[in-house]
C-alpha cells in the first residue's frame, strides 16, 4: 500500500472508531478501542505476518509517521492507543524468536492483548543507562525486583517489554530485555493521574520470575534493543 492510501485508511478508521474512543475511562486503557482498531485492520498492518500482522516485513519509521499524523488529525485518543500498543510490542518483533512473536506480539497485533514499553524508573529517565531494577539469576531464569514509573498502558497491560539490570557496574552494557506478563506473581501496579487523559502508571516488581525464554535478544544487550525501538518510534512523535 502506498503512503497516501495508508494515510487515507488511517483517517477513515479514526473517524469510524471515534465514538468508541470517546467512551473510554479517562486515564485507563480502552480495550474496546484497541480491539476496534485491530478489527478495522490498522493494527495488523503495522506488524509483520510472523507477529500476527498483515505486512511482509517490519514497519518503517516513515510509515509510522504517516499513520500517526493521519490519526492525530482526527483523534489523539486513537493515535495514542496505536502508538503505545505498537511501541510496547515492537521489541518482541525486533529481537524475539518466531515463537515469542507468535505468543506475545500476535495477540497485541490482533487487539486481544495490551502491550507496554517499560523502561523509565524513578532515577533513570533520560539517563536510561542508570537502570536499577534488578534481574538476578535463579535457576534457569531470573528474579526481577524494582520499580518502573511513567509507563504508558500500566497498570492495565497484559504484556510488558521490560528492561532490567543483569550486570552491575557496566552501565548500558549490563541491561537485558524481558517479556513479563502483567498478571505474573509479584507484579503490582497503580495508575498515575496526569493533566491530560493518558493511560500511565507505576509498576512494582517483587521477585517476579522470568524464565530464560522470556529474555529478548541477548543477555546484557537490552539497552541496544531499547534504543533501536525508540529510534524507530521517536520520529513519529513529531508527526
Task: Please give the chain's pLDDT, 239 residues, in tens.
Answer: 788 999 999 999 999 999 999 999 989 999 999 999 999 999 999 999 999 999 998 999 999 999 999 999 999 999 999 999 999 999 999 999 999 999 999 999 999 999 999 999 998 877 878 899 999 999 999 999 999 999 999 999 999 999 999 999 998 999 999 999 999 999 999 999 888 779 999 999 999 999 999 999 999 999 999 999 999 999 998 76
d(CA 237, CA 147): 26
Q: Cis omega before residue 155 (within 30°)?
A: yes
**CA 239, CA 235: separation in Å to the nearest integer?**
7
Are 183 and 157 in contact by the 8 Å Cβ rule? The answer is no
> Which residue carries 521489541 as its cell?
91
For the domain spanning 3-113, the CATH number is: 1.10.540.10
CATH number of 115-222: 1.10.3720.10, 3.30.420.40, 3.90.1300.10, 2.40.110.10?
2.40.110.10
The per-residue pLDDT of the chain, averaged, comes to: 95
Nearest to 128 by CA among 177, 189, 171: 171
Q: Which of 130, 138, 148 is nearest to 187 (CA)?
A: 148
Report the alpha-carbon distance of residue 124 to residue 57 in Å, rounded.
33
pLDDT of residue 197: 79
Domain ranges of the chain: 3-113, 115-222
What pLDDT is recorded for position 151? 97
* Three-state secondary structure call for residue 223: helix
3-state secondary structure of 196: coil
Rg over CA atoms, the chain? 17
Minimal CA–CA distance to 33: which of 107, 111, 105? 111
Amino acid at each position: 500500500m502506498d503512503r497516501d492510501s495508508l494515510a487515507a485508511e488511517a483517517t477513515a478508521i479514526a473517524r469510524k472508531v471515534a465514538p468508541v474512543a470517546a467512551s473510554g475511562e479517562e486515564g485507563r486503557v480502552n480495550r474496546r478501542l484497541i480491539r476496534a482498531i485491530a478489527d478495522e485492520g490498522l493494527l495488523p498492518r503495522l506488524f509483520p505476518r510472523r507477529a500476527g500482522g498483515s505486512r511482509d516485513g517490519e514497519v518503517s519509521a516513515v510509515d509510522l509517521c504517516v499513520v500517526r499524523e493521519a490519526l492525530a488529525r482526527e483523534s489523539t485518543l486513537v493515535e495514542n492507543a496505536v502508538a503505545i500498543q505498537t511501541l510496547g510490542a515492537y521489541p518482541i518483533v525486533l529481537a524475539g524468536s518466531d515463537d515469542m512473536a507468535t505468543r506475545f506480539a500476535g495477540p497485541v497485533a490482533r487487539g486481544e492483548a495490551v502491550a507496554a514499553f517499560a523502561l523509565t524508573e524513578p532515577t533513570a529517565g533520560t539517563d536510561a543507562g542508570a537502570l536499577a531494577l534488578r534481574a538476578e539469576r535463579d535457576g534457569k531464569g531470573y528474579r526481577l525486583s524494582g520499580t518502573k514509573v511513567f509507563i504508558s498502558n500500566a497498570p492495565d497491560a497484559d504484556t510488558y517489554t521490560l528492561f532490567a539490570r543483569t550486570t552491575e557496574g557496566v552501565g548500558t552494557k549490563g541491561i537485558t530485555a524481558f517479556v513479563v506478563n502483567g498478571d505474573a506473581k509479584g507484579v503490582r501496579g497503580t495508575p498515575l493521574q496526569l493533566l491530560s487523559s493518558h493511560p500511565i502508571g507505576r509498576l512494582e516488581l517483587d521477585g517476579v520470575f522470568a524464565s530464560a525464554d522470556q529474555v529478548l535478544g541477548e543477555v546484557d544487550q537490552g539497552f541496544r534493543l531499547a534504543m533501536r525501538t525508540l529510534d524507530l518510534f521517536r520520529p513519529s512523535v513529531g508527526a
